[in-house]
A = this chain, B = another copy of it.
Amino acid sequence: MTGIIRPSRPRQPERPVRQENLRSLNLELVFRNILAAGHPVSRTELATITGLTRPTITRIAEELLAGQLITETGLTHNGRAGRPRVGLTLSEKGPAGLGLDIRADALAACVVDLTGTVRHLAFTPSTYAGRGAPDVLTRLAHMAHAAMEAMTADGLTVVTATLAVPGPVHAGIVQSAPELGWRNVDAGALLRSAMDHLDLAITVDNQANLAALGELYASDNTLDSFVYVSGGLGIGAGIVLDGQLMRGARGWSGELGHVTVYPDGKPCPCGSRGCLQTYASLPAILSDEPAPAGSTPDAAITGRAEAGSPTTIAALDTAGTTLGIALADMLNILDIDTVLLGGSFSLLASWLTANARAEIDQRVLSAAWAPITIRPALLGPDAAVIGAALTSIDQIRQHPTDWLARQPSRSRHAAPASPA
């Protein structure tokens, strides 16, 4: 991204790095280098990488160890000459991040530790649509409490939670989640109240955005820019550009379900006509035959398609074609060359991809000289809840000093708290 510095643009006066910040900046620098390494690193290596002195590294490592942000491994050898050294690596105890997700068919909770490993994943299958926000959020609060208790037994402390909702969110308020029947819901406040105002930082964010972050993380270096499409009762998208989520000016980007496919087409509940959602959402593909009781919409659709139902196969063809037309618009606008089909679309991908690809190849200008990839998402329907948990733990990763400030002092300069 590029801007222009404008002389008269009001901005915060910039300030230089000062001595009093240097300590915490250096601590965060060392921590990020341990994080980035992806394998245990010795204090000597850290001194070389960061350019900080060995005594500074030793002091910082002591603080990080005391705060359970890192742990010591046995002797490791970096493959070059020299004697093996004690490695430092991310702790599997200490801080943990909680993710919560409201799906059409289930509530989900997930906890990840600092290393990004999923330590807890739980579901309460049910249909919550129309049940009302306080009811849904009270049930989620119970799941959150259960997750936090289970984690305490493992030596993990959940300090931040991120809640995924299927709709645009602004300043913590869910603007509109038609699948749930919500409008202008302060989901964070309701959840906080249902959790007895426990000391837990709660953030509310869009489901497709969080799922995109989950996929970014899971892709492990192979993806930098992609569009994540979340298919379900509605259709949303999360946009990742250069490793960063593109939220838009107010956090409402990626409304792929309301991209116009046929200007004079089917009416959409949003008030427009011919929106992608009216052709490619699960209800549209199910046409007038809802899933039988006990079956999910995905299972009903794939069952019918495999049995050769002409109605279902035609509906899937239309869904693929219209998805391709809408995605082509998105790719022409964003210049991104990879599409991940997520949510229910990850399960229906084999029925959708060929038609979608045909439209994309014809309609994306750059496809003529640079091919477009379209494939199922890696994490399937769990991407959003895992992405939410990762977003929570990332707050500690970005600002380890905030976590350390919460800890009872354990540095060598303070007497350890004696047991009563």
Contacts and interface: CB of A to CB of B under 8 A. Distances in A.
A235 to B, nearest CB: 11
Report, as a range, how many residues of chain A touch the other chain. 35 or more
Contacts of A242: 249
Interface in A1-55: 1-11, 13-18, 25-26, 29, 32-33, 35-38, 49-52
Contact of A115 (B7, B270, B337): B7
Copies of this protein in the assembly total: 2
Interface in A239-255: 239, 241-255
Interface of A: 1-11, 13-18, 25-26, 29, 32-33, 35-38, 49-52, 90, 115-116, 168, 175-176, 213, 216-217, 220-221, 224-225, 237, 239, 241-256, 258-263, 270-273, 275, 325-326, 328-330, 332-337, 359, 362-366, 368-370, 390-391, 394, 397-398
Contacts of A216: 3-4, 6
A260 B259 CA distance: 10
Contacts of A246: 1, 241, 246
B29 A9 contact: no
Given A29-B16, A260-B363, A363-B260, A335 B4 contact: no
B335 A252 contact: yes
Nearest to A271: B362
A187 to B, nearest CB: 17
A325 B251 CA distance: 22
Given A9-B221, A10-B36, A260-B329, 19 more contacts: A1-B246, A5-B32, A5-B36, A6-B216, A7-B115, A8-B38, A13-B49, A14-B29, A241-B249, A242-B249, A248-B336, A250-B366, A250-B370, A252-B365, A255-B365, A258-B332, A259-B329, A263-B359, A271-B368
